[in-house]
Structure 1
Amino acid sequence: MLRPTVLGLLLACAVSLSSSAVILENGIPILWAQTAGQVTDLPFQNGILTPDPWHFLNRMSLYRLMIAATDPFMGSMGTGASESPLWGLPLQLGWMFTSGRLADPTGTTTCGHQTGDTTCISTQSWWGCVNYFASAIPFLSAAQQGFMGPEVQVQMQVPAGVEDYCTTYADCATRYPDVMSKWDAFFQGLKASTDSPLPDNEKKDSLLGLYWAAQMASSQASAACNTRQSHYSSSEVSFANSWLNSAEYVSAAHFQSSLEKSVMFLTPLPGRILQEGDSAPNIADLSQEENHTLYIFTWMKNINSLLGGSLVRLWKSAMCSVTTREKGREMLEQLLLNPSFATNSFLSIVTGMTTSC
């Protein structure tokens, strides 16, 4: 029973090359060309940078500015222009946007809906809330570490009456100290890497480790968003929780979420919010790829829960060194291109890697 189950676990991450969700426009994240190319393109008030993270283009701009500011420190990731692991974040936000997951799920406003401001991100969206921890907070850290220019102060805008989002570096560091300290460590590590004598593969592994530690801290802190799940169907909530859980696998392998690799992982995610009664793999208006991904996500989460988390632990324990993590990343990519690889070899390889640790 274990072999197909482990296959299922990673097929949740290693998905078909067929496209379901629209996340690219001319080879770059959707609406990228309309985002801020420099810090001064964002709103300023009294000398303080005041982005509006509840406007899609402003939130996407945070990613564009972070990628541009950190690219000079990403040499160990490879020679391409889109090798930075930060590329996975704007692509993920684009999928949330085009699939309707950033719109007001309560229906009390037209925020994010076709009948209103389509670029509005609702403060009541669970997905928008979770993403806040992986967009606004990293940007505040990057600015604090000097990546946005000397002594740039930042305060995120927030709609009137909304009080459960932190808006400044000090505010977020007080409310979520673990999240902020891990993003600080990542941005500091980038700077330190330029003088590091380590070979590029070890340097890359170290930086990806810092990056994923920060990402997982953001993910764990986003439990603060959980009350917003009440606005969604049980099918969507189940998928959302499985989606969060899948990060355990890519993070343990220090996966390099470059633009190209992230596209392959994100395109088969469901292109709309799930409704009551949606049951993969038999959702009529979703593609075969979307149905398969949803089915595997559910299988992955349920089997791992039944086994007390042992499948996650097996994978994590195998990802114990630079060498095994490199193999782990290669295996994830093999699963994309050659699913029979997992059926024939995956369990034995992971078990062998675990014992070698």
Structure 2
Amino acid sequence: MYPWDYRDRLSMYKLILNYSAKYFTQFGINNTGNEFWALTIFYGILYQTRRYNDPSNYLVNGRPQKESFISVKSGWSGINYYVIVPFFLAALKSNFFGPLSYPMELLQQEELRSDFCYSFEECNASYPQVMAGTLKIFEYLQAREKTSNNSENPTYNTDMEKITHYIWSRHQNGIDAGKPLFYDNSQFYSTDEKHFAEGFLTTVEFLEAANYPSDMKNSTIVLSTFPHRKLTIGDWFILGWNFNISEKVLLIITKIISGINNISGGAFFNIWKKIMMSESARKNAQFLVKIIFLLPKLIPSDN
């Protein structure tokens, strides 16, 4: 597989979704209750909003970028790389996909080669915490026992709270590994896009601490409000005129949460994490998030 092609990287998500489906049968029909959906949906959104393009130049070797091309120079694609690739490599390592008719390996991109790892061993050498956490997810799922023997749709004793926590924790590990790539390439983005990216990643940490469900339905509630284009100068402070109401709500929330957290030197997030140690507090936070992001969708918009 070539992880710098949209279709190949999407195949990694699809394999994980398909092979993990049986562990989420009881949580939603047609695999909609799968907690890996948030990663997959956001991947598609970043592609649709052209955030995987080379921010310094839309040309590659003098030609327009291919539709399926993912640039190694995009900070967004670099961060996403460390979100999905460790998952995929750990799944292979743990034999999560079962016997394969042919071996799978990642084809390397020579440009900025030292910024990326392409095998489990290479990633483990550079990011042992990331790989250990990812292996833990697939080992947990493979250890699940059947709670029904329905031949067509057997169910397993998957603890939704626990697997959601595992996935979010590993997701954050991947972001921490990929963030330096965003900083390295940040000069190619507008100041407002940089502010938004930093703020959004901070906001995601608050959602993770609340163990917000990452299945298809709940992920769509939040991620469908993601700005349809990269921010340009002025968008972060006055909110671009062609952003719809839902997009503006996300931008406002991102500004408030990241702003308070920055002013407090991170104390706001530490307090939030302590509050979220309570199950009832997590449930209330999850409900509040849904209300905040669903209400704007009920308001008519001309955009």
The alignment's TM-score, normalised by the length of structure 2, stands at 0.85
Following the alignment from structure 1 to structure 2, what is the Cα–Cα distance between the partners of residues 127 and 334? Answer: 28
- For 1:266, the equivalent position in structure 2 comes to 223
Cα separation, partners in 2 of 1:77 and 1:317, compared to 1, 3 Å = farther
* Structure 1 position 171 matched with structure 2 position 122: yes
Is the deviation greater in 176-185 or in 146-155? 146-155
Match of 1:180 among 131, 139, 144: 131
- For 1:117, the equivalent position in structure 2 comes to 66
Please report how far the alpha carbon of residue 134 of structure 1 lies from its aligned counterpart in structure 2 after TM superposition: 1.2
After superposition, what is the alpha-carbon deviation per residue over 1:31-61, rounded to whole angstroms, capped at 9, x for unaligned? xxxxxxxxxxxxxxxxxxxx11111111111
Q: Unaligned stretches of 5+ in structure 2? A: 148-155, 297-303
Cα separation, partners in 2 of 1:289 and 1:281, compared to 1, 3 Å = farther
Matched position secondary structure for 1:147: coil
- 1:247-262 superposed matches below 5 A: 247-262=204-219
- For 1:130, the equivalent position in structure 2 comes to 79
Please report how far the alpha carbon of residue 97 of structure 1 lies from its aligned counterpart in structure 2 after TM superposition: 0.8
Paired letter, 1:334 = I
Please report how far the alpha carbon of residue 264 of structure 1 lies from its aligned counterpart in structure 2 after TM superposition: 1.5
- For 1:36, the equivalent position in structure 2 comes to none
The alignment's TM-score, normalised by the length of structure 1, stands at 0.73
Please report how far the alpha carbon of residue 277 of structure 1 lies from its aligned counterpart in structure 2 after TM superposition: 2.9
- For 1:145, the equivalent position in structure 2 comes to 94
Following the alignment from structure 1 to structure 2, what is the Cα–Cα distance between the partners of residues 296 and 62? Answer: 31
Residue pair 1:212, 1:251 contacting (<8 A) in 2 also: yes
Match of 2:245 among 284, 288, 292: 288
Please report how far the alpha carbon of residue 281 of structure 1 lies from its aligned counterpart in structure 2 after TM superposition: 3.8
Please report how far the alpha carbon of residue 157 of structure 1 lies from its aligned counterpart in structure 2 after TM superposition: 1.6
- For 1:306, the equivalent position in structure 2 comes to 263
* Structure 1 position 210 matched with structure 2 position 166: yes
Please report how far the alpha carbon of residue 313 of structure 1 lies from its aligned counterpart in structure 2 after TM superposition: 2.2
Residue pair 1:154, 1:168 contacting (<8 A) in 2 also: no
Following the alignment from structure 1 to structure 2, what is the Cα–Cα distance between the partners of residues 202 and 313? Answer: 29
Cα separation, partners in 2 of 1:202 and 1:316, compared to 1, 3 Å = farther
Following the alignment from structure 1 to structure 2, what is the Cα–Cα distance between the partners of residues 252 and 55? Answer: 32
Following the alignment from structure 1 to structure 2, what is the Cα–Cα distance between the partners of residues 157 and 236? Answer: 30
Cα separation, partners in 2 of 1:76 and 1:175, compared to 1, 3 Å = farther
- For 1:57, the equivalent position in structure 2 comes to 7
Following the alignment from structure 1 to structure 2, what is the Cα–Cα distance between the partners of residues 131 and 211? Answer: 14
Following the alignment from structure 2 to structure 1, what is the Cα–Cα distance between the partners of residues 157 and 293? Answer: 22
Please report how far the alpha carbon of residue 248 of structure 1 lies from its aligned counterpart in structure 2 after TM superposition: 1.4
Number of aligned residues: 284
Q: Unaligned stretches of 5+ in structure 1? A: 1-50, 340-357
Please report how far the alpha carbon of residue 337 of structure 1 lies from its aligned counterpart in structure 2 after TM superposition: 4.1
Cα separation, partners in 2 of 1:315 and 1:80, compared to 1, 3 Å = farther
- 1:49-128 superposed matches below 5 A: 51-75=1-25, 77-78=27-28, 81-107=31-57, 109-110=59-60, 115-128=64-77
After superposition, what is the alpha-carbon deviation per residue over 1:260-283, rounded to whole angstroms, capped at 9, x for unaligned? 221111122111111223234441
After superposition, what is the alpha-carbon deviation per residue over 1:130-180, rounded to whole angstroms, capped at 9, x for unaligned? 000111111011111112223775421222333121000111111111111
Residue pair 1:252, 1:319 contacting (<8 A) in 2 also: yes
Aligned alpha-carbon RMSD (Å):
2.4
Cα separation, partners in 2 of 1:81 and 1:309, compared to 1, 3 Å = same
Please report how far the alpha carbon of residue 86 of structure 1 lies from its aligned counterpart in structure 2 after TM superposition: 0.7
- For 2:300, the equivalent position in structure 1 comes to none
Match of 1:220 among 176, 195, 198: 176
Following the alignment from structure 2 to structure 1, what is the Cα–Cα distance between the partners of residues 98 and 21? Answer: 15
